[in-house]
Amino acid sequence: MTNSIETPQLPEMLELWQKTLNWQPSSQELSQFQLLYQLILQGNRQLNLTRITEPTDFWEKHLWDSLRGISQFLGKTPIPKFKVIDIGTGAGFPGIPIAITQPYWRVTLLDSTQKKLTFLENLILKMEIHNAKTLTGRAEELGKQSQYREVYDIAVIRAVGSALVCAEYALPFLKVGGLAILYRGNWTEEEATDVRSTLLSLGGTIELIDPFTTPISNSIRHCLHLRKMSPTPAKFPRPTGITTQKPL
């Protein structure tokens, strides 16, 4: 296995970014992506961080997918200075690619597993990423604490649970007017109906269901944009375990 992420070849890769996201990373961002890849491979030798390690897979399923979720903000001016939380960040996705490409955003990487966050703390130091920090704990508990509740502009959440569970985790962290971006795979109108009716009780609404396929393996994806319209009632998120065992 090569340790270079430069597959597809660099010019092709730049063309793919341009064609699919109407954006291209700078040479500095490309070097950061390369370093991120190497550090994840190294980390994977000790920790079970990710199964996605082949260069093309890494590019598509970690880098491209992470950034596809926030593509509306890539390269845009004026640059908003958002406070962002990545809930259940794992090995840092989508939060780390977001922090690299949005240096004016302040990104909090939340996970309940300390060893993953210790890895990410070292990675942030080695990569000199100054706009990201870690937060250890469960979303159900931290989302109730006043220093984290209703303070974020954007919450991103990928591969953490069902859409309803993700909504219950994400909405309490957001300011009124904030945006939750749920990274999903397949998506059906039945799920949308369930989420729509339940979201009202969390103070949110579905603003956009954004379907797309990934550019290399043509996998089906959906990003759900939930807008927070009113404060989330204090009883949410419900205690650890209840959220997943009894989805709203």
Ligand X SMILES: C[S@@+](CC[C@H](N)C(=O)[O-])C[C@H]1O[C@@H](n2cnc3c(N)ncnc32)[C@H](O)[C@@H]1O
Q: Which residues bind ligand X (CB under 6 A)?
A: 88-91, 93, 110-113, 116, 138-140, 158-160
Closest separation in Å from C-beta 203 to ligand X: 19
CB of 106 to ligand X, least distance (A): 18
Q: At what angle do helices 114-127 and 27-46 cross, to 10 degrees?
A: 140
For ligand X, the closer CB: 91 or 195: 91
**Residue 112 marked ligand-binding:** yes
Q: Which two tokens stand for residue 206?
A: 């579905």
57 known member of a binding site:
no
Judge if the upstream peptide bond of residue 8 is cis by omega within 30 degrees of 0: yes
- Integer CA distances (angstroms), 41 to 2, 49, 64, 97, 159, in order: 11, 9, 18, 16, 20
Q: Any binding-site annotation on 140?
A: yes
Nearer to ligand X, 24 or 210 (CB): 210
Q: Is residue 111 part of an annotated ligand binding site?
A: yes
Q: How far is the CB of 239 from ligand X (least distance, A)?
A: 11
Closer Cβ to ligand X, 132 or 160, answer by number: 160
Minimum CB separation of residue 174 from ligand X in Å reads 16
- Write the DSSP string, 163-230: HHHHHHHHGGGEEEEEEEEEEESS--HHHHHHHHHHHHHHTEEEEEEEEEE-TTT--EEEEEEEEE-S
Alpha carbon 37 to its chain centroid, in Å, reads: 17
170 is in an annotated binding site: no
Q: Which is nearer to ligand X, 19 or 51 (CB)?
A: 51
Q: Which segments are annotated as binding site for S-adenosyl-L-methionine? A: 88, 93, 111-113, 139-140, 158
